[in-house]
Chains A and B, each alone.
Chain A
Amino acid sequence: MKKILLYSFLIVTSVVTLIPFIWMLSTSLMTDGAASVFPPKFFPEEVVLQQYQTLFTRLNIARNFFNSIFLSVVVTTISLFFNSMAGYAFAKYRFKGKDKLFNLLLVNMIVPSQITMLPLFLMLKSVGLINTYMAIIITGMANIFGIFLIRQHCLSIPDSLIEAARMDGATDFQIYRKIILPLAVPILVTLGIFTFLGTWNDFLWPLIALTDESMYTLPVALSNLMLEHTRDPELMMAGSVLTIIPVIIVFLALQRYYIKGIMMGSVKE
């Protein structure tokens, strides 16, 4: 009896949690105006792809979709490379000022990123990089949390492996590429999802740094579209579906790594 009660509670609350998504998807398949009725309809009377057609033909959302994919992939690739090198060095090398440097980085994790945006904007504007892909890429090339995550993982790699390779005459970079990187794959996947989703979902910085519609990422394009289409729930829902679907696919495919990363991040003392 208690079990049935618990299960029904879990099922009801899960459905309630997912209703916004279900409603979003079903509204996105309706004809213009079909969602602006009372009582609200939960399923389209006829399923049409009209909204998606409008987005792709008239509103050129494919371009924004490309921008989002491209920037997320590039930022993820570069930052994985930079962060993993730094994280490995902080875990396994001895060098002057290492602990001080690492602590300085950790302390600065509490600085809200909004602070940097004014000077970043001015800086990039003076070198003509505002409204370019570079504005998003170079500001995302490395981050403290990523270095921290990789370092934690590399600490568990035995020194003997590295020393053995060194005896065999491997250079430091070969050790990093042939020994460390393969062993760090799980954490690289974790950090990769964080970075990919972080870049994909980011809003404030792209809103500031990208000024042409053709350069917008999906969230910025959506917020811009919302200004003119406050009365078109069907169209806006289709835009939201397009923005959310890739995120859900990436998450569902790699959720174990993602959740492990959250747990790791919570024990950073």
Chain B
Amino acid sequence: MNSKEKKNIKNSYSFASTAAYFFIAPALLAILIFFFIPVIAAFVISFTDFDIYALGNFNTLRFVGINNYIRLFEDPLFWLSLKNTSYYVILATPLSIAVSLSAALLLNSKLLKYKSIFRLSYFMPYVTTLVAVAIVWRFIYHPKFGILNYFLGLIGVNPIDWLGDPNWAMPAIVIMSVWKSFGYSMIIFIAGLQNIPDDLYEAASLEGANEWQKFKSITLPLLAPTTLFISIITIVGYFQLFAEPYIMTQGGPLNSTLSIVQYMYQEGFRWWNMGYSASIAFVLFFIILIITVIQFKVQKITSK
């Protein structure tokens, strides 16, 4: 290599870094303007009394310190929405994990063929439009004409007013959500299962272990990181519950399905209490942050 060529390469590298800025600029500008700045702005707004008057005239806007957060703390409707959402998460997360893990185990079985067809049908609900399937389920849950009560009637269960009974509305949304989303975790579980070496099972078989023992002492421990990841993704996703109650119950009956995001949406975009709404959004963020931090801690402990 002569010195001229060397110089060219050097030049091209120094040019390279300018080119890098050119390549990242469009995406990063978009993310800065439409993501980072709004996040910061939301934080600032959550300390103001931004309402419908401020929307018309910015001069009426005042900083109110942590008043929104104090008000939130004393707002029974906010606590109810937090309670409802937590109830939903607590019911739906284990159910979703149990269903998706069972499906993954089934589909990972060496005995079976045509697995891709079954995998496809289990996965189908996940890709479809939430609003459209929520509408379908609203009719499935119809107390008189819905097919769920019809099937339950065949095995002798009395009709349940799924979406009209405050005790049943949230469980009904849970069932629908699990149906909608278990396919996603199933795929990740299948990937996790395929990473477990076969010879572990063979060795266990030689020692006379039965299927349940193998599951308990090989599959579950080796699948722990996958399960942890799925739990976090699922919990974080479920905390953002919105479209299902919005379409199926409008948060009712008696606010029994009012979720945090729905309350945020109502306060912000129906009553234009934007300062208050922003503080709700940040409480949601805080919850999600805590869950994620716990995940990292658990991961560190288990990987040691």
B64 sits at the interface (CB 8 A): no
- For B9, the chain A residues whose CB sits under 8 A away are 166
Is B27 a contact of A20 with CB atoms below 8 Å?
no
Asked if A123 and B38 sit within 8 Å, CB to CB, the answer is yes
- Contacting pair A20 B136 (CB below 8 A): yes
Cβ B45 vs Cβ A118 within 8 A: yes
Please name all residues of chain B whose beta carbon is closer than 8 Å to the beta carbon of A112 when the two chains form the complex: 236, 239-240, 281, 284-285, 288
CA distance A4 to B210 in the complex (A): 21
> From residue B47, how far is it (CB to closest CB) to chain A in Å?
13
CB distance from B295 to the nearest CB of A (A): 10
Contacts of B36 in A (CB 8 A): 108
| Residues of chain A in range 112-140 having any CB-CB distance to chain B below 8 Å | 112, 114-123, 138-139
Q: Which of A12-41 contact B (CB under 8 A)?
A: 13-15, 17-21, 23-24, 27, 35-40
Q: Are B121 and A9 in contact (CB under 8 A)?
A: no
Interface size on B, residues (CB 8 A): 88
Beta-carbon contacts under 8 Å, B95-154 to A: 103, 106, 109, 111-112, 117-118, 120-125, 127-133, 135-140, 142, 144-147, 150
A197 touches B127 (CB 8 A): yes
The answer to whether A172 touches B19, judged by C-beta atoms less than 8 angstroms apart, is yes
Tell me if B's interface is mostly helix, strand, loop or mixed: helix
Q: Which partner residue on chain B sits nearest A230 by CB separation?
A: B138
Q: Name the one of B30, B128, B139, B292 contacting A82, with C-beta atoms under 8 angstroms.
A: B30
> Is B160 an interface residue when CB atoms closer than 8 A count as contact?
no
Chain A residues with a Cβ closer than 8 Å to the other chain, count: 93
Minimum CB–CB distance from A111 to chain B (whole Å) comes to 6
- Residues of the A chain whose Cβ atoms lie less than 8 Å from the Cβ of B125: 17, 20
A219 touches B131 (CB 8 A): yes
Q: Select the stretch in A46-54, A92-100, A184-192 that faces chain B.
A: A92-100
Whether A55 sits at the interface, judged by CB under 8 Å, is: no
Q: Give chain A residues whose Cβ lies under 8 Å from the Cβ of B271.
A: none
Cβ proximity bits B227-261 to A, threshold 8 Å, 1 near / 0 not: 00100000010011011001100000000000001
Nearest CB on A from B195, distance (A) = 10
Q: Tell me whether B139 and A85 are in contact (CB under 8 A).
A: no
Cβ A201 vs Cβ B129 within 8 A: yes
Cβ contacts A139-176/B at 8 Å (1 or 0 each): 10111100100000000000000000010000011001
Q: Are the C-beta atoms of B28 and A95 separated by less than 8 Å?
A: no
- The contact sample of 5 A-B pairs, CB cut-off 8 A, is A6-B109, A20-B137, A89-B20, A116-B42, A226-B135
Cβ-closest 7 pairs across A and B: A93-B20, A172-B19, A119-B41, A86-B27, A89-B23, A142-B27, A116-B38
Besides A21-B128, A108-B35, A114-B264, 10 more A-B contacts (Cβ < 8 Å) are A6-B111, A85-B27, A93-B16, A114-B242, A116-B35, A119-B41, A204-B242, A233-B139, A233-B145, A244-B133
B interface residues, Cβ below 8 angstroms from A: 9, 12-13, 15-17, 19-24, 26-28, 30-31, 34-39, 41-42, 45, 55, 103, 106, 109, 111-112, 117-118, 120-125, 127-133, 135-140, 142, 144-147, 150, 179, 184, 187-188, 191, 226, 229, 236, 239-240, 242-243, 246-247, 261, 264-265, 268-269, 274, 277-278, 281-282, 284-285, 288-289, 292
